[in-house]
Amino acid sequence: MKLFINSGSPFARKARIVLREKGLMDRVEEVFVIPVESHPDLVAANPLAQIPALVADDGVRWTDSSLIAHWLDGQGEGPRLLPEGEEAWPVRRLEVTAAGILEMTVKMVLENRRPENERSPFWLERWEGSLVRGFEVAEAVCPDADVFDLGALTLGIAATYADFRYPHIDWRSVAPKVAALQTQLEKRQSFIDTYPK
């Protein structure tokens, strides 16, 4: 398998963590790319030139971090990161909330990369407010710090990415349980190995 990544991408980090947690590292090559350069191999794997993108051994191309993570969950070893049946829904709901927090943070990063005179203060303020509200919602359903599933995993990634990009945003004051979960998750080797750069 080939997984197209960038070490700063929280979405790629999700797939990278699942690979490590499921014991699949000996079956994959992580390929570093810069998405905005639209490298031909990345575009062949994902015509949208977004990461992560996974090319399986049978040639099937997988895109979107959640879809990749769900597929990898079924390929590797150990307990399932997404439970079966009705138990999956709370995990998926938290996963989607955390993915929304990530989207707000990435939008802010991209907006701040524009020339200063082209940036929109309105959108930056709106996205920051959405990010904090996302953490408030996540706090209400945050699992215990020892829980490890795709919802908790994605929420931990979102918390670390918010800290990595915008340490001045005080999301912890509205989400102390999320902060405790993040602290616990960042001790796992898969999180240490994939810390954003």
Q: Residues of the chain whose pLDDT is less than 70? A: none
Paired tokens of 121 = 């203060």
Please determine whether the domains at 2-75 and 85-189 fall in the same fold group of CATH: no
Question: Whole-prediction pTM value?
Answer: 0.95
Hey, what CATH topology would domain 2-75 get?
Answer: Glutaredoxin (3.40.30)
**Residue spans per domain, the chain:** 2-75, 85-189
Tens of pLDDT, residue by residue over 137-164, are: 999 999 999 999 999 999 999 999 999 9
Return the bridge partners of 62, or none.
Answer: 54
Amino acid at 76: G
Mean pLDDT score of the chain, rounded to an integer? 96
DSSP per-residue string spanning 67-103 = HHHHHHHHHSSSS-SS-SGGGHHHHHHHHHHHHHHHH
From the candidate CATH numbers 3.40.50.300, 3.40.190.10, 1.20.1050.10, 1.10.630.10, the one assigned to the domain spanning 85-189:
1.20.1050.10
